Amino acid sequence: MSPDGLCVFCHESCGTCVGPNLDDCVSCKKRYDFLDGKCIKLECQIGWLADHDAVECVQCHESCHTCMTTSASGCMICAEQTLRVKIACVPCESVEGFYTEPTEPECQEICGDGIKVSDLIECDDGNLDPLDGCNELCEVEQSFVCSGGSPFSGDECYYREPITWFISVAPSDITKVTIQFDRDVIIQKSKRHLKLAVVV
């Protein structure tokens, strides 16, 4: 109330007051803190949290970019080179299938380890061999389809188009058989059978 008996507005930071000035606050509005007779609004930089009891900014846990509490489970956004696992942000290497690339802020998925744990790679068939459907960069190769990759298993890749092949017998020697394919193939031997893989 003013000296002439009229009601006046409190300062914008005050919840209740005895006058219109900043230092006339009796209580503070939400998001403001009472310090040295004034209501102040804590403006904390990224990576820090407003502690309204101590009326100061405190640093988030090192695994957090932004946070709600200062514990490892209080992250709102994870820091660079960490992943969220349940309620906490953890280093890349602590999660199976990931590693840290020093020049990259995000965790990188391991290529060729036989599991697929994210969409960072197109496929993972457990090796870094080209021409088998999933190449050394874990990219699906032309004319192939790869599926089945999960945190527990690798992808199976197969050629989308059927291979046409022909058998011919030499007239002079019926023990000699020639097999011709409509495209280049790689013949892989196993103990039980021959496995054919297309060369693109």
**What is the overall mean pLDDT for the chain?**
87
**SS3 letters across the chain:** CCCCCCCCCCCCCEEEECCCCHHHEEEECCCCEEECCEEECCCCCCCEEEECCCCEEEECCCCEEEECCCCHHHEEEECCCEEEECCEEEEHHHCCCEECCCCCCCCEECCCCCCCCCCCCCCCCCCCCCCCCECCCCCECCCEEEECCECCECCEEEECCCCCEEEEEECCEEEEEEEEECCCEEEEECCCCEEEEECC
pLDDT given for residue 130 in this prediction: 92
Report field, pTM of the whole predicted structure over 0.85: no
pLDDT given for residue 164 in this prediction: 82
Give tens-digit pLDDT for 94-129: 999 999 999 999 999 999 999 999 999 999 999 999
pLDDT given for residue 172 in this prediction: 83
Q: Find the range with the poorest average confidence among 28-32, 70-74, 162-166.
A: 162-166
Confidence of residue 84 (pLDDT cuts 50, 70, 90): very high
